A and B are shown apart, each in its own frame.
Chain A
Amino acid sequence: MTSPGRAHIEARTLREDRWWLQPLTTFVVFSAFVVYATVRAFMGRDYYASPYLSPFYSPCLGDCVEGASDFGQPFGWWPLSAALIILIFPLGFRMTCYYYRKSYYRAFWLSPPACGVAEPHSAYSGETRFPLVLQNVHRYFWYAAVLVGLVLTYDVLLAFRPMPAEYAVGDGETSGVHMGLGTLLMIANVVFIWLYTLSCHSCRHVVGGRLRHFSKHPVRYRLWTWVSRLNTSHGRWAWYSLFSVALVDLYVFLLATGTIQDVRFF
Chain B
Amino acid sequence: MSYTLKLRIWRGDKDGGAVEDFPVEVSEGEVVLDAIHRVQATQAGDLAVRWNCKAGKCGSCSAEVNGRPRLMCMCRLSDFEEDETITVTPMRTFPVIRDLVTDVSFNYEKAKELPSFAPPPRDADGKRRMAQVDVERGQEFRKCIECFLCQNVCHVVRDHEDNKEAFAGPRFFLRYAELDMHPLDTHDRRELAQGAAGLGMCNITKCCTEVCPEGIHITDNAIIPMKERVVDKKFDPLVWLGNKIGIRNKDNDGRTEV
Contacts and interface: CB of A to CB of B under 8 A. Distances in A.
Are the chains A and B members of one assembly? yes
Interface of A: 1, 3-9, 11, 13-17, 98, 101-102, 105-106, 111-112, 115-119, 121, 123-128, 132-133, 136-137, 139, 201-202, 204-205, 209-217, 221, 231-232
Contacts, number: 157
Interface of B: 10, 12, 14, 16-19, 64, 66-69, 87, 89-90, 92-96, 102, 131-134, 137, 153, 155-156, 158-161, 163, 180-183, 198, 200-207, 210-211, 219-220, 224-225, 227-232, 234-236, 249, 251-252
A249 B17 CA distance: 58
Contacts of A211: 249, 251
A210 B158 contact: no
A15 B69 CA distance: 10
Contact of A210 (B64, B201, B204, B229): B229
B228 A201 contact: yes
The residue among A13, A14, A215 with the most chain B CB atoms within 10 A of its own CB is A14
Given A126-B201, A210-B228, A116 B64 contact: yes
Contacts of B161: 3
Contacts of A132: 203
B206 A102 contact: yes
B251 A102 contact: no
Contact of A106 (B16, B96, B158, B205): B205
Contacts of B251: 210-213, 216
Q: Tell me the interface secondary structure of chain A in the complex.
A: loop
A210 B163 CA distance: 29
Contacts of B202: 126-127
B95 A5 contact: yes
A137 B236 CA distance: 8
B96 A7 contact: yes
A227 to B, nearest CB: 12
A6 B96 contact: yes
Contact of B153 (A116, A205, A210): A116
A14 B224 contact: no
Given A139-B231, A201-B220, A202-B228, A221 B133 contact: yes
A126 B207 contact: no
Given A14-B87, A127-B201, A212-B251, A119 B159 contact: yes
A6 B92 contact: yes
A229 to B, nearest CB: 12
Nearest to A129: B200
Given A139-B228, A205-B229, 8 more contacts: A6-B92, A102-B219, A105-B203, A105-B204, A115-B68, A116-B67, A127-B202, A212-B134
A37 to B, nearest CB: 24
Given A8-B12, A115-B68, A201-B224, A127 B183 contact: no
A15 B66 contact: yes
Contacts of A139: 228, 231, 236
A11 B64 CA distance: 13
Contacts of B231: 136, 139
A128 B211 CA distance: 25
20 contacts: A1-B159, A8-B12, A14-B66, A15-B68, A105-B204, A106-B205, A123-B160, A124-B155, A136-B234, A136-B235, A205-B229, A209-B225, A209-B228, A210-B229, A212-B134, A212-B180, A212-B251, A213-B131, A214-B131, A221-B133
B191 to A, nearest CB: 14
B201 A128 contact: yes
Nearest to A232: B220
The residue among A9, A106, A217 with the most chain B CB atoms within 10 A of its own CB is A9
A102 B206 CA distance: 7
Contacts of A121: 159
Contacts of B183: 212-213, 215
A215 B203 contact: no
A194 to B, nearest CB: 20
A205 B134 contact: no
Nearest to A126: B201
Contacts of A111: 155, 203, 205
A250 to B, nearest CB: 31
A100 B87 CA distance: 33
B211 to A, nearest CB: 7
Contacts of A212: 134, 180-183, 251-252
Contacts of B155: 111-112, 118-119, 124
Contacts of A13: 67
A215 B156 CA distance: 37
Contact of A6 (B94, B133, B220, B225): B94
B92 A1 contact: yes
Nearest to A106: B205
A112 B93 CA distance: 15
Contacts of B133: 214-215, 221
